[in-house]
Structure 1
Amino acid sequence: MPGNLPAEVTSFVGRDDDVATARKLLGGTRVLTLTGVGGVGKTRLSRHVGAAVRRAFADGVWLVELAHVTDPDLVASTVARELGLRDDTSEPLTVLTDCLTTADLLLILDNCEHVIGACAALVDRIVPATTGLRILATSRESLGVAGEQVLPVAPLPVPDPERAEFGGPAMRLLVERASAADPAFRQSADNAATLAAICRRLDGIPLALELAALRLRMFTPDQVLARLDDAMGLLTTGLRAAPRRQQTLASAIRWSYDLCTPDEQRLWEQLSVFAGGVDLAAAEAVCQIGAPQTLLGALTGLVDKSVLSYARGADGAGRYTMLEPLRQFAGDRLRARGNEYTVRVGHREFYYRLARRGRSEYWNAADTGWFGDVAREHANLRAALQFSLAEPAGARRALELATDLWPFWEHCHLLLEGYRWLAEALAKNPARTVDRARALAASSAIAAMRSETATAVEFARASAEIAVETGSVQVQAEAEMARAVLVFGTGELREALEIAVTVSVRAGECDHPRVAMEGLAFAAVCALALDDPLAGALAEKLMALSTEHGSHLLGGLAYWAVGTQRRREGDLCGAVAALRRSIELFRLFDRCAWVATSVDGLAWVAAAEGDLARAARLMGAASAVRRGSSQRLAHAMTQLIGQQVREQVQTGLGEQEFGARFAAGAALAVEDAVDYAMETAPVAVTVVEPAGLEVLTRREREVARLIASGHGNRGIAQELVISIRTAESHVDHILTKLGFTSRTQIAAWVSRHTRAGTSR
């Protein structure tokens, strides 16, 4: 089933009633928030509830962990990314709403309290605009949105001393975890009363019980109880105003801390600066506790004490993670010790070195490794950027970080996030330096891709001026490359081609292979769109250069260009081979933005082979792969080259048949759409009857009706109280879904289906 809910690896104890209540409440409310103190088990309960109701949601259960998201502005884009949507639009909430309009889906938002306002705004926006979406949130306070149902999560019931009880959920959890840590441990008549007292002393808080259970490997129950009393007495001296349960959890964590060796304590503290986990290399580079053997010993000790969890990801990379209450405690200790600034600088510098690797690895054989590392460390890179922007001495590093990550922002559908980081860094770095010129060039390209022409012009001009002032020939090439993208966006393809060709030559002369290959790739696109004879030579030159450097990503663009050119030359077998090779290369990268372009290329080949039905399905499949992306420039490139083919297929099949075949391809999941294009697996492609207005989302139907009434984008925006950019985005989506090329076709289609009585 779809979704990303992780498997549970330990037993779930004592929450049967809470699970039943949550399931019942989810049946009658759209928003359910689990509230309670830290460590009470909200996260674990939410995941267990999600697993229990998974079959009730056709589109799956999706978990979004927000503990590492400290910037409220990144909440919506983080949710979109977990759902597999593209973050290259100025309004991620709009993309989320459109995607979820008719989805039958449970969305779990975990650890909302530190970004409560942003979470509330997100939920308040998407819930009323959808029909089958349910939200399950965890937070230390309620979201405060309309229709929210709150389910307080209490600690586990503890044994009643008045009744001499020695069982119950808290006791079961303590004994199960103690037995897991020490298979020889058993509850007995001799220790039952003491174990019950431990449960009461810890107020039945699950995290505190699990930490105490680990101590039973080395202490008797009586010793554990005595030390808990000592820790509680010491800790509450400075926490008298804190709620009792907060004191209880803090005392359990503090006792675990006190039982660690000095090296383990310092490592625990220093690891608190990492977001989203840490691997061994990062821990060794950032944490300062002595020789490598000392660090390895401390890491092992923290894993043994369950302060850290260790697991291998899908890519096989090992990673250490820490529960949020433990990380917060460690962060407080690090600040109290006075070492936070030094450790955070080390953290920033380590991830700066990762980002800087992209200057060379983006365009050579190491590109897959670099993109994979950056994607894995996205949360830590965010933390490094935030720290750099928050302190004056780090402003320049923030500019370098944001700029060096430009390929990641561009190719992995993170244009909006990259744009934000670049804007903030530029605002704090007004000096006319080479770094500023590079950042301006990157910002110009992003602005052009987002159709912000005036802003892109200003950025490109400023970048070029500083590049000339500083005498940096390489940055001048980058600025000119940004200008080529800008000129393309204005429709001046011939000028864009000439600029890109010149850029590729100059970049080669000044030993700037990245821009040389990007210039060739862009020039090839322009030449193909213009049907210029130069296209073949440009594509082959790009192929030679990308092969020389071993680039997979830019090599994928080379294979796409060569395959598209071979189709024009009539070498259809060669075209298919090249285009499929481009997809193989693009699929080495997570959520690569260019896969849809290659699927479109295969559609053009199918049309040339006379298989119009497959061509229409492939065009729909390409739209499925591209779904959620508002990067208008990239889509425009494909449209310019393939527009004539689309029209030929529509004419050959007829509008209704084309619409049915296109809709069948568009209905595929992303992986199925790519498999269909590659013919690597039998994918059932159901041809539906020509769809009515229901093929569009509710908001798209409103936009389509307004188009039929003669409204322009400005009128649509005013009528629906949305921005003009959002109106444009809706029109683009409608054209893509219906396989149309003009507003007139939309108007005729709405009129026809309205008369037929199929509109809703």
Structure 2
Amino acid sequence: VQMLITSRERLQLRSEQLYQVPPLSVAPNATLAEATVSSAARLFVQSAQFVQADFQLTPTNLAAVLRICDLVQGMPLGVELAAAQVGSLPLDAIADAIAQSAEFLTAAWVDVPARQRSMRAVFAWSWHLLSAAEQRVLRQSAIFRGGFDYAAAQAVIDAKPALLTVLVDKSLLQWQAAATGEGRYAMHELLCQFAAEELDAAGEREAVAAQHGRYYLSYLAARGLRLGRGEPKQASAEIQPDLDNVRQAWQWAASQGRLAELEEATYAWWQFCQFCDLEAEGRQSFGVAVASIRRRLAQPLADEETALLGQRLLAKLLAIHADYLFAQGCDAAMAAQAREAIQLGATSGGVEGETFGTFVLARALHELDQRREAGDLWRQTIQLVLAYQPTHPESELLHEVHWMAHTCLRGSALHFGDYGGSRAYMVQALQLAQRLGKRRCELISLSFLGQTDVFLFDIVRAAPSLVAAIDLARALGYRRSEMDSLEGLAVMARLSGDYTTALRLLEQNLMLATELALPYDESFALAALVRLHCQLGNAPAVMQRSEPL
């Protein structure tokens, strides 16, 4: 005898064969045609027609319907309860209400049991069937964002294996296995809202958030050396599954002014944001940390050592955040913040803030056309690094700034016509990167060295550096540097008279700029293509490529 049984809980029979029923599907960015045949949107339309007979999926309401289906994550009852509101509320209002609280999802149906008339009733029914220990693990699991693995469950919420198994068997947690044998736990977003309310009611949020924050910032910090040196791609890949947890941990530490935790994680978070091109997020997150530590230092602290730790941390955070202002063109604000970092670092013994602040001040002055002063400050940065490294050998940030100062002096030397000096600085930067095993820095050094040789019309020396840079960029997944190196090879090919290769490389350069959503670089690549087509007398191509400009 074979029986097909649907249940949210395992029957605990040895002979049962489990088949997970996936949620109803619809892509958040589906087209109208795709949504019309998707299971989630079809159920929504059918359910909505019970309260509004002429309801149809249209280009106008498509985005709101997709958002609703996404918010309930394809849960059939959630879709039905949301659709039941169509007769009395705009679709956008329904979506906003669901995002705010699962309590909104309720209906006055009399032909179903009371426990199925709202999402809260469904969750409350299951909740009351749990033991006290199971309830604790479930409500504390709401602290995670984007799921969590077994190690985090042990460290953050002290979840015993048997309790996790029970919650998975009851379909309150989902176990997402991986081919490696590892896996992650996930919780439905609507259930997570319910569990979070229970977490607050139990008065446990602050303690669990602290445990969560410490765990994930330590997890991030443990990968700092690999991010900055030989394995940035692998280290960032390890962080990516828990990126939302890391973000929440950083936000917790920043908002709470947690000095030790921020100090531990600052370098790794900065490196991660750099490697993953998270420019805006890095600027915002370090800005939040700066504001929080300012507030913390304005209050009485436990002892002088804590005050010094806070001042040193603030100096470093100020310098890093000021460097992010470079891309915004906020040169005066950048200079002012860098000066503050220098002063605070010098008075508190915060050598990282003082040194990096000096480097950033030079960048700001360079943009303000104070080029000689900038060059002097970059050379001073190198002297500070050499003076402080013997007493701070563990500082990866000092190594990083040492390399950065050399790369900037390359551009400064070019500006003043010191072409030999420019190349010498770049060779030194490459040697520094290779000696320390800093692969990202090695990549940028190779690219800059090749571009410098192209500028000096030394094509023989330029080619190996640029080709090596492209190979390393592809190995690391660092596409921005791949794009820059392709541009250098294209210029080299054009100077050599190999116009076919130059056109091909410029097309690749344009494609990368478009994929990376870099409008300035995209325009630059288009302009280079137009100039070369003009040079070759290719009028149709000139017209075609000029149109986007």
Q: TM-score, normalised by structure 1?
A: 0.53
Post-superposition offset of 1:490: 3.0
| Among candidates 258, 281, 286, match of residue 151 of structure 2 | 281
Residue of 525, 530, 540 corresponding to 2:427:
540
Query: For the structure 1 residues 691 and 495, does the alpha-carbon distance in structure 2 shift closer, same or farther, using more than 3 Å as the test?
Result: farther
2:492 is the alignment partner of 1:605: yes
Change (3 A) 1:16 1:606: same
Q: Please point out which of 264, 271, 284 is paired with 1:420.
A: 284
Equivalent residue for 1:517, pick from 386, 403, 411: 403
What one-letter code is carried by the residue in structure 2 that aligns with 1:513? Answer: H
Deviation of 1:503 after TM superposition, in Å, equals: 2.3
CA distance in 1, matches of 2:70, 2:287: 38
Tell me the CA shift for residue 323 of structure 1: 0.7
- Shift of residue 316, structure 1, vs aligned partner: 9.2
Compared CA separation, residues 329 and 464, structure 1 to 2 (3 A):
same
SS at match of 1:690: helix
TM-fit CA distance, 1:460: 0.8
Identify if the C-alpha distance between structure 1 residues 476 and 580 changes in structure 2 by more than 3 Å, giving closer, same or farther: same
- Aligned to 2:293, the other structure's residue is in SS state coil
Q: Secondary structure at the match of 2:176?
A: strand
Structure 2 residue 178 is matched with structure 1 residue 300: no
Indicate the residue corresponding to 1:473 in structure 2.
351
Residues 570 and 35 (structure 1 numbering): CA distance in 2 closer, same or farther, change over 3 Å?
Answer: closer
* Deviation for aligned residue 1:654: 1.5
Structure 2 partner of 1:332: 197
SS at match of 1:320: strand
Q: What does 1:425-464 align with in structure 2 at a 5 Å threshold?
A: 425-430=289-294, 431=297, 433-464=311-342
- Unaligned regions of 5+ residues in structure 1, if any? 49-118, 121-136, 144-151, 162-199, 203-231, 233-243, 661-687, 697-737, 739-760
1: CA distance between counterparts of 2:70 and 2:28? Answer: 23
- Secondary structure of 2:229's match? coil
Cα separation, partners in 2 of 1:301 and 1:154, compared to 1, 3 Å: closer
Deviation at 1:436, TM superposition (A): 0.8
What secondary structure, in the 3-state scheme, does the structure 1 residue paired with 2:329 have? coil
CA distance in 2, matches of 1:338, 1:382: 23
C-alpha displacement at 1:342, in angstroms?
1.1
5+ residue gaps, structure 2, are: 1-26, 50-54, 80-90, 298-309, 390-397
AA at the equivalent of 1:548: R
The CA distance in 1 between the partners of 2:411 and 2:400, in whole Å, is 17
Contact 1:35 1:153 in 2 (8 A): no
Report the equivalent of 2:534: 654
**Whole-Å Cα distance in 2 between the matches of residues 451 and 571 of structure 1?**
33
Which one of the candidate residues 553, 556, 561 is aligned to 2:443?
556
Instruction: Report Cα offsets for 1:711-753 as digits up to 9, x if no partner.
Output: xxxxxxxxxxxxxxxxxxxxxxxxxxx4xxxxxxxxxxxxxxx
Q: Look up the equivalent residue of 1:691 and give its one-letter code.
A: Q
Separation in 2 of the partners of 1:410 and 1:320? 29
- Would you say the 8 A contact 2:385–2:402 is kept in 1? yes
Instruction: Decide which moves more: 340-349 or 545-554.
Output: 545-554
Whole-angstrom distance in 2 between the partners of 1:505 and 1:409: 27
- The answer on 1:344 being equivalent to 2:209 is yes
Equivalent residue of 2:64, what SS?
strand
Deviation, 1:275, is 1.0
How far did residue 371 of structure 1 move?
A: 2.5
The whole-number CA distance in structure 2 between the counterparts of 1:420 and 1:488 is 24
Q: SS at 1:338's partner residue? A: coil
Aligned residues with identical type, % of pairs: 21
Q: C-alpha separation between the residues in 2 aligned to 1:33 and 1:449?
A: 35
395-404 or 344-353: bigger deviation? 395-404
Residues paired across the two proteins, number? 472
Instruction: Report the Cα offset of residue 441 of structure 1.
Output: 0.6
- Residue 245 of structure 1 aligns with which residue? 117
Which of 376, 381, 390 in structure 1 is aligned with 2:246?
381
Do the aligned residues in 1 keep the contact of 2:28 with 2:70 (CA within 8 Å)? no
Partners of 1:311 and 1:318 within 8 A in 2:
yes
1:529-573 residue CA offsets vs partner (Å, 9 max, x unmatched): 656212333333222222222222112112213333454566647
Trace 1:123-522 onto structure 2 (pairs within 5 A).
Answer: 139=95, 141=97, 200-201=112-113, 232=115, 245-246=117-118, 249-260=119-130, 262-289=132-159, 294=160, 296-311=161-176, 318-357=183-222, 360-391=225-256, 394=258, 397=261, 405-430=269-294, 431=297, 433-492=311-370, 495-511=373-389, 512-522=398-408
Deviations 1:625-668 (A, max 9, x none): 33466798xx69x98xx99xx87x866642796897xxxxxxxx
1:560 and 1:582 in contact (8 A); partners too: yes
1:348 Cα offset (Å): 0.9
What is the CA deviation profile of residues 76-124 of structure 1, one whole-angstrom value per residue up to 9, with x for unaligned ones? xxxxxxxxxxxxxxxxxxxxxxxxxxxxxxxxxxxxxxxxxxx98xxxx
- Assess if the C-alpha contact under 8 Å between 1:527 and 1:534 holds in 2: yes
Q: CA deviation at 1:480?
A: 1.4
Letter in 2 for 1:272: A
Report the secondary structure of 2:277's partner residue: coil
C-alpha separation between the residues in 1 aligned to 2:176 and 2:382?
44
Distance in 2 (CA, whole Å) between partners of 1:349 and 1:597 is 38
Residue of structure 2 equivalent to 1:29? 60
Letter in 2 for 1:536: R
- Structure showing the higher helix proportion among its residues: 2
Equivalents in 2 of 1:550, 1:327: separation in Å? 43
**How much does 1:280 deviate?**
2.6
- State the distance in 1 between where 2:542 and 2:166 align: 63
1:594 is aligned, of 478, 481, 488, to 481
SS in 2 for 1:562: helix
CA distance in 2, matches of 1:538, 1:14: 60
Equivalent position of 2:505 in the other structure: 618
* Letter paired with 1:500: W
Higher normalized contact order (CA 8 Å, seq sep 6+, divided by chain length): 1
Q: How many Å separate the matches in 2 of 1:321 and 1:245?
A: 25
- In 1: Cα distance, 2:371 partner to 2:490 partner: 23
Contact 2:228 2:271 in 1 (8 A): no
Give the match's secondary structure for 1:139.
helix
- 1:601 is displaced (CA, Å) by 1.9
